[in-house]
Amino acid sequence: EDKVVQSPLSLVVHEGDTVTLNCSYEVTNFRSLLWYKQEKKAPTFLFMLTSSGIEKKSGRLSSILDKKELFSILNITATQTGDSAVYLCALYNNAGNMLTFGGGTRLMVKP
Amino acid sequence: KAGVTQTPRYLIKTRGQQVTLSCSPISGHRSVSWYQQTPGQGLQFLFEYFSETQRNKGNFPGRFSGRQFSNSRSEMNVSTLELGDSALYLCASRSALTTSGYYEQYFGPGTRLTVT
């Protein structure tokens, strides 16, 4: 069974700090790795990573995939209270019809 | 473009009853997936429909079923409800393969089901 593990489970930081969220997986074959942000509602899409070593950036957020070491990281710089959320990592199977999610990292940013 | 819509947003049922949840995907999206989210198990895949056909199914009992209509709207049904079925049920709408070679997937707001 495909397995996706996120760490840490939860994290408390202060505004302005930089955080790194980890996602490791035990999947031999997949189409892409996705990161989502979930507040008190549906997950919202952040990044899709398909190639190893290519960093994706969006403002203060960035993410990279390492297919050799089987992990991805999500970095958030200069954190703000609005970044407080659960961050989810998921793998898209090759057929593109199923996402396998990790358990998420709960981030709390204090003012 | 309107987003993914799910109805109802909240639902309270008692054990043994059945429930039907509805999902309308983004216009033009033909793939609809359903996920169950609970504090203990996280987000788990239920099933995926494309052009009225179920193409993939997660590891859930037969009490969980679904269907998709010709307009791509989808319903999922849970029969003989159990307390453990209390969860947020999320529907996701997926685009066709883009020119960049990936799919765009968007989640609806979810239906929060409480079983008492």
pLDDT band at B88 (very low <50, low <70, confident <90, very high): very high
Who contacts A100 (Cβ-Cβ below 8 Å, separation ≥6)? A2, A3, A4, A27, A90, A91, A93, B45
Provide, as residue numbers in chain B, all residues whose Cβ is less than 8 Å from the Cβ of A41.
109-110
DSSP letter, residue B83: G
pLDDT band at B91 (very low <50, low <70, confident <90, very high): very high
Cα A11 to Cα A14, A32, B41: the distances in Å are: 10, 26, 20
Who contacts B22 (Cβ-Cβ below 8 Å, separation ≥6)? B6, B7, B73, B74, B75
pLDDT number for residue B63 = 97
Question: From the list A42, A92, A104, which residue is nearest B42 (CB)?
Answer: A104
Beta bridge partners of residue B57, listed in sequence order: B47
Q: Chain A closest CA to B116's CA: distance in Å? A: 22
Q: HSE of B87 in the Cβ direction (CA atoms, 13 Å)?
A: 23
Mean pLDDT across the stretch A78-94? 95
pLDDT in tens, B12-59: 999 999 999 999 999 999 999 999 999 989 999 999 999 999 999 999
- pLDDT > 90? residue B65: yes
pLDDT in tens, A30-74: 889 999 999 988 899 998 998 888 899 999 999 999 988 899 999
A38's tokens: 């979930």
